[in-house]
Amino acid sequence: MNIFDIMGPIMVGPSSSHTAGAARMGRVARHLLGSQPVKADIQLHGSFAATGSGHGTDRAIVAGLLDLAPDHPGIPHSFELARQAGMAVSIRPVDLPGAHPNTAVLHLTDQQGRTLTVSASSLGGGRIRVNAIDGMEASFSGELPTLIIRNQDRPGIVSQVSQVLSDHMANIATMQLYRDRRGGLAVMVLECDNHLSPALVEELSRLDGVERCTYLNMEGC
């Protein structure tokens, strides 16, 4: 435990969970999309829906989608900044049975028509957990360099991915496997100890059976 676990993150208030965590959720989602959204449909669940406006949750998520850090002074003005950036924003409540009370679902579209849906929860102290990507289960914080690999559910792909990481001297901190059904679509989530090169990510993307490889690195952001 360090002092920031006790005192909380450096942020624009008032709440580490409703504001700082929300900003981080938006920022992680923007980096997963890989570009600036032009459309964002934001759904707020639980206490996010009940008290989020008063705590600035809505403004913080929009600020994160604009790639603003949790301590950026522009957070209170994010709606206007979004309009200036050409990002259309809609915000509405949603009921997600069994979900953490500080959960949001972000439906994003960028200028090229690429779409992404991210479900994430704010856990307190500015920490977050991504719960799902495009409806597929996931669980990661975004604090470590992270690979999200969508692949066909068939034998051998996990070992191929592990071999590529080994060849590039990349150390896996955690590894999670999910699938929608046997023989269907699967997702690997790998948190790594070190930064991953573009060449490694490109090599993973070319593996037979891999449909999409997304690399998230929020270090220094």
Residue 139 lies in a domain: no
What's the total number of domains in the chain? 2
- pLDDT by residue (tens digit) across 2-49? 434 433 444 444 455 668 899 999 999 999 999 999 999 999 999 999
What are φ and ψ of residue 183, in 5° steps? 80, 5
Local structure of 27: helix, strand or coil: helix
123, containing H or E segment: strand 115-124
Tell me the CATH number at 104. 3.30.1330.90
Q: At what angle do helices 78-85 and 57-65 cross, to 10 degrees?
A: 30
Tell me, yes or no, whether 74 and 12 share the same domain: yes
> Which pLDDT score is estimated for 16?
55
> Which pLDDT score is estimated for 5?
43
Domain boundary among 74, 105, 134: 134
Q: Which domain holds residue 64?
A: 3-134
Mean pLDDT rounded to a whole number for the chain: 90
Tell me, yes or no, whether 158 and 61 share the same domain: no
The pTM assigned to this predicted structure is: 0.85
Q: How many residues are listed for the chain in this entry? A: 221
Distance CA(55)–CA(159), nearest Å, equals 46
Residue 45 lies in a domain: yes
Tell me, yes or no, whether 168 and 92 share the same domain: no
